[in-house]
A and B are shown apart, each in its own frame.
Chain A
């Protein structure tokens, strides 16, 4: 019960556009390489995140941003000699906000797709796949994607998971399998709450989130590793993107990157980081 309260707290908090300054003051002898003109706010690396996906990005009970991507963003800002600033916002607002110059970086685990890479500067830095979470004990006996036929499946609106579950649904229907009923929610906290209440038969999320909920004992991870896809940081400004790429490469060289990926059980990149365009 306690864990459920903790997850619904941030869900309500993100409905407000809240700004949080994370991390400590930058080192004094540090010189920023990114010109102020390339930044949304001079001296700051402004990043958007939707902190409803433990353990990748979430708000702890003191209201502080935590998680793998938060740590990565803070380290990036440190290496760029900028102050990290996080904007907490729903995923659906991320791309329009980047285009409108509201933040420098989307750091929320956005999936790389050719379509998105044509609109933004994207640097893939981790690999993620999606999972199907089910109530404890898997009462519907879901063992393959075909078992989702006719089931109510909850998902966060606007993200890769929704796009992929809809794609899967169409593929299954083409094979003559009964359609799922896909329920879209504002964020994962409410999607999982619907699963908890028995309003949905399954919830679709990224592997790490489903594994985290499974580890807490709230839900079982019936399927995982579906649609493995690179996850990226997305920038609008080329100068910012190049600086982020160089900072990531320096993290790879000194081992910071590898140890962070290991800490969260994620598959790390082995090749140097690149800004991957739509045709790469």
Chain B
């Protein structure tokens, strides 16, 4: 059996404007979802850690539902179920909303883990200095928690870059759906999926660089200070 692979087709698609637009959609969907997810996830983590039991239970319930059901089902419900209750979202709105709601549940647990990872003594020290609970959280706990959160957050961004492809189920034309649409032109299946894979790889690699920078910034206090080399 001969190998079916068309190099010229591969290179044509490598710089195809339609695919690049799909990749751009994937990128902004990811960034918007992670930003929205972080805000909502932080709020959920605060509720979850709240000593007020109903608030904590509310957050637990949210996390339980959104982590416990497939994103695909959540998207279909948001896009085709909510209109029956008078809530109509466009494809883009429904895709973004689904990704944010889903991601927030995961990020809430990551943020909570980061906060719990800061030793209790730090909060106590803050209180002893006369800081309010909000000030303790903002100036003492969060800067240290952020350092713990970033590696797990990086994992989420990487995963989310690929998870955005699920939104194609409600006809969102992101990178993978754009690839599927182009496949029908010449049926260069492997060539096109390889191009898409390279785009995903490029985006996840770029994120790796960004993440390393952020980690270095928040890890300053922990980087070892080297003595100058003796001459």
* A154 beta carbon closer than 8 Å to chain B: yes
Contact of B171 among A99, A158, A163, A185 (CB under 8 A): A185
Between-chain CB contacts (< 8 Å), 14 pairs? A157-B180, A158-B180, A183-B171, A185-B169, A185-B170, A186-B168, A194-B79, A194-B171, A196-B80, A197-B80, A197-B81, A198-B88, A199-B80, A199-B83
A162 proximity list for chain B (CB < 8 A): 184
Q: Is the beta-carbon distance between B187 and A96 smaller than 8 angstroms? A: yes
Kindly state the separation between the CA atoms of A198 and B87 in the bound complex, as whole angstroms: 11
A95 proximity list for chain B (CB < 8 A): 187
* B55 beta carbon closer than 8 Å to chain A: no
Kindly state the separation between the CA atoms of A163 and B80 in the bound complex, as whole angstroms: 25
* B49 beta carbon closer than 8 Å to chain A: no
* A222 beta carbon closer than 8 Å to chain B: no
* A190 beta carbon closer than 8 Å to chain B: yes
* A259 beta carbon closer than 8 Å to chain B: no
* A92 beta carbon closer than 8 Å to chain B: yes
Top 9 nearest A-B pairs by Cβ distance? A197-B80, A183-B171, A197-B83, A96-B189, A193-B80, A198-B83, A184-B171, A185-B171, A194-B80
How many A-B pairs fall under 8 Å by CB?
52
Kindly state the separation between the CA atoms of A119 and B168 in the bound complex, as whole angstroms: 28
Kindly state the separation between the CA atoms of A69 and B168 in the bound complex, as whole angstroms: 28
Q: Which of A154-170 contact B (CB under 8 A)?
A: 154, 157-158, 162-163
Could you tell me the dominant secondary structure of chain A's interface residues?
mixed
- Quick one: CB contact mask for A18-35 with B, threshold 8 Å, 1 for yes? 000000000000000000
With A183-B171, A185-B171: A199-B180 Cβ-Cβ less than 8 Å: no
Separation in Å of the B185 CB from the closest CB of chain A? 10
A184 proximity list for chain B (CB < 8 A): 171, 173, 177, 181
A154 to chain B: closest residue by CB: B171
Kindly state the separation between the CA atoms of A259 and B109 in the bound complex, as whole angstroms: 62
- Quick one: CB contact mask for A170-214 with B, threshold 8 Å, 1 for yes? 000000000000011110001001101111000000000000000
Q: Is the beta-carbon distance between A163 and B184 smaller than 8 angstroms? A: yes
Q: Is the beta-carbon distance between A186 and B187 smaller than 8 angstroms? A: no
Contact of B79 among A119, A158, A199 (CB under 8 A): A199
Q: A92-B183, A194-B170 are in contact. List 14 more A-B contacts (CB 8 A).
A: A15-B72, A96-B189, A158-B183, A162-B184, A184-B171, A185-B171, A186-B169, A190-B76, A190-B80, A194-B79, A194-B171, A196-B80, A197-B81, A199-B79
- Quick one: CB contact mask for A98-132 with B, threshold 8 Å, 1 for yes? 01000000000000000000010000000000000
Separation in Å of the B63 CB from the closest CB of chain A? 24
